């Protein structure tokens, strides 16, 4: 075992250090943070990060990679966290206490700081090679990373790809900061400061009671319109923006339900999901839920048309079709318009995916569909909108427009949720 089991006088000395925090930490409401420490030089900041978390009321169990033990003392981590650091997957004693799956379940958040280039690669591949990577795959808690590495490593295309993959999987990232690095180079790659990381994580976990008792119903993701048993019409929506918005409303204290088309991104916790495939299934699910909704948000990229006939058998190439095949389509019901024109109407927000004259078309769409607000993104820009980690949108209410420049979908979602809740809470009807 490369960390120490501490007992006797040494244990009492540690208890004294731990007592330093006793007045600050309320065990009753302390969020549980698993702190994964990667093997980068910034690991030396880990005890300070633990201290900052505890100062803000969190309970910490450090999970130390083998490489990190060369840079930070498990004894110091035990002293400041008050918990025995964990590190080995194959540690019978530790597993008998709290096994890796139990650790993954215990966590309200998994924070990986520093997240090294190697750790990002491991996460991107989904490989379960050590305790930390196993916990990463097993937990449903939100995951936060604070990368730290040499500037050139950070800018290497392989790292860029891995970061994109990991963010696409729903991981949230802070930093890295710019500045002088331990290796003497300047540029991005420094781990963010411990106080900033701790504040950011706990702020993101916080659930306010602003929308307590408010039911929010969202549609999210693409729909699939079947042509035959193996072919369908769909689009590039990943569900990222919808899930980010669901999370943001959850953090404001709302009860959130998402009617989701088929997506492959991780599902945030604390939210109810209704799975659908086609636009007509999405409409039926919304019809079944909308009576309870106070706010309805249509983020989904719903197919406007579906094949007139979904065939039971796979279409075969044949003599009959040798000059081409005509697929006849019919229009789907407009779900958001249906909700916005009900007698018992929630506060309704639509999205608009436009490729030109975005603002003008979105204003018209808002009025035509009788929406309280519309969020428009210019999907001709491939850096934002469909299946990207970031977005840039304009939120249009009657008499007020808010432009949100390019940022992560989580950050956009937070801003949208704040604006929409304020408008909802101060509406006149």
By CB under 6 A, name the binding residues for ligand PMT. 219, 221, 237-242, 279, 298-302, 304, 332, 334-336, 350-353, 377, 379, 385-387
Peptide bond before residue 80 is cis, with ω within 30 degrees of 0: no
Q: Indicate if 183 belongs to the active site.
A: yes
DSSP character at residue 69:
G
DSSP 159-176: HHHHHHHHHHTT-EE--P
Dist CA 293 CA 234 (whole Å):
27
DSSP 282-350: HHHHHHHHGGG-SEEEE--B--SEEES---SS-----GGGTT--PPPEEEPP-HHHHHHTSSS--EEEE
Dist CA 77 CA 60 (whole Å):
10
- Residue 228's CB is within 10 A of a number of other CB atoms, namely 15
Dist CA 344 CA 346 (whole Å):
7
Buried b (16+ CB within 10 A) or exposed e, 115-132: bbbbbbbbbbeeebebbb
Strand, helix or coil for residue 361: helix
| Contact status, residue 244 vs residue 228, Cβ threshold 8 Å | no
Strand 373-378 versus strand 390-397 pairing type = antiparallel
- Residue 328's CB is within 10 A of a number of other CB atoms, namely 8
- Choosing from 1, 22, 137, 183, the catalytic residue is 183
Dist CA 116 CA 39 (whole Å):
7
State how far Cα 263 lies from the chain centre. 14
- Residue 231, classified by CB atoms within 10 Å of its CB into exposed (0-12), middle (13-18) or buried (19+), is middle
Dist CA 412 CA 404 (whole Å):
7
State how far Cα 181 lies from the chain centre. 29
Could you give phi then psi for residue 414, rounded to 5 degrees?
-60, -45
Catalytic residue IDs: 183
């Amino acid at each position: 075992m490369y960390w120490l089991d501490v007992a006797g006088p040494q244990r009492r000395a540690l208890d004294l250090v731990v007592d330093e925090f006793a007045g600050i930490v309320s065990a009753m409401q302390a969020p549980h943070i698993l702190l994964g420490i990667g093997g980068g030089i910034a690991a030396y900041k880990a005890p300070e990060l633990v201290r900052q978390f505890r100062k803000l009321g969190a309970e910490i169990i450090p999970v130390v990679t083998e490489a990190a033990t060369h840079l930070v003392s498990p004894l110091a981590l035990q002293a400041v966290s008050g918990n025995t650091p964990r590190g080995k997957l194959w540690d019978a004693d530790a597993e008998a206490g709290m096994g890796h799956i139990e650790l993954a379940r215990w966590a309200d958040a998994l924070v990986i700081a520093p997240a090294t280039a190697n750790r990002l690669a491991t996460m991107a591949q989904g490989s379960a090679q050590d305790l930390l990577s196993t916990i990463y795959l097993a937990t449903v808690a939100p995951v936060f990373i604070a990368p730290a590495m040499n500037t050139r490593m950070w800018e290497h295309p392989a790292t860029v790809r891995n970061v994109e993959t990991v963010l696409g999987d729903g991981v949230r990232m802070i930093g890295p900061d710019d500045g002088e690095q331990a290796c003497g180079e300047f540029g991005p790659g420094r781990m963010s400061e411990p106080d900033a990381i701790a504040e950011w994580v706990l702020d993101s976990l916080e659930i306010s009671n602003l929308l307590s008792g408010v039911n929010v119903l969202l549609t999210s993701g693409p729909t699939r319109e079947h042509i035959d048993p193996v072919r369908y019409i769909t689009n590039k929506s990943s569900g990222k923006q919808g899930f980010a918005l669901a999370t943001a409303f959850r953090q404001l204290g709302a009860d959130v339900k998402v009617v989701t088309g088929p997506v492959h991104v991780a599902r945030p916790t604390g939210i109810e999901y209704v799975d659908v495939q086609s636009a007509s299934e999405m409409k039926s699910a919304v019809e079944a839920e909308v009576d309870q909704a106070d706010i309805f948000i249509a983020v989904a990229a719903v197919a406007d048309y579906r094949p007139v006939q979904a065939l039971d058998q796979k279409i075969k190439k044949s003599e009959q079709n040798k000059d081409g095949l005509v697929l006849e389509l019919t229009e789907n019901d407009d779900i958001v318009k249906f909700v916005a024109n009900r007698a018992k109407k929630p506060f309704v927000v639509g999205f608009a995916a436009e490729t030109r004259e975005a603002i003008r078309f979105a204003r018209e769409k808002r009025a035509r569909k009788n929406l309280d607000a519309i969020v428009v993104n210019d999907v001709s820009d491939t850096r934002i909108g469909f299946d990207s980690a970031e977005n840039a949108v304009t939120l249009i209410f009657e008499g007020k427009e808010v432009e949100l420049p390019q940022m992560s979908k989580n950050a956009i979602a937070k801003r949208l949720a704040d604006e929409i809740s304020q408008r909802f809470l101060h509406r006149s009807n």
